């Protein structure tokens, strides 16, 4: 998911920019930009993406039998 080809261009994922605050990026080509801005010089850097938080495991519906291996 982090390395997909159809990523939406955004300054926050661009290798040419550096974050300077929560809402601003210092771009080498365009100066101060918003994290949601984009331009034609976008170069994707997958290491800048933060994966979504996984959904919590709901254990109240699970029992020990759910984790036991069945023998044939």
Q: 43 in a domain, yes or no?
A: yes
41, part of any domain:
yes
- Is 11 exposed, middle or buried (CB count within 10 Å of its CB: 0-12, 13-18, 19+)? buried
Please give the pLDDT value at position 34: 92
Per-residue pLDDT 10s for the chain (72 aa) are 556 667 788 898 899 999 998 899 999 999 999 988 988 898 988 888 888 899 998 888 888 888 888 775
Instruction: Answer whether residue 65 is part of any domain.
Output: no
| Number of structural domains the chain divides into | 1
> Is 7 within the bounds of a domain?
yes
Q: Determine the structural domain holding residue 29 and report its residue range.
A: 1-49
pTM: 0.60
Res 20: pLDDT: 92
């Amino acid at each position: 998911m982090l390395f997909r080809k159809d990523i939406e261009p955004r300054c926050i994922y661009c290798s040419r920019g550096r974050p300077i605050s929560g809402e601003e990026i210092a771009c080498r080509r365009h100066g101060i930009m918003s994290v949601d801005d984009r331009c034609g010089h976008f170069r994707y850097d997958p290491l800048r993406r933060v994966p979504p938080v996984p959904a919590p495991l709901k254990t109240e519906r699970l029992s020990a039998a759910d984790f036991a291996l069945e023998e044939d």
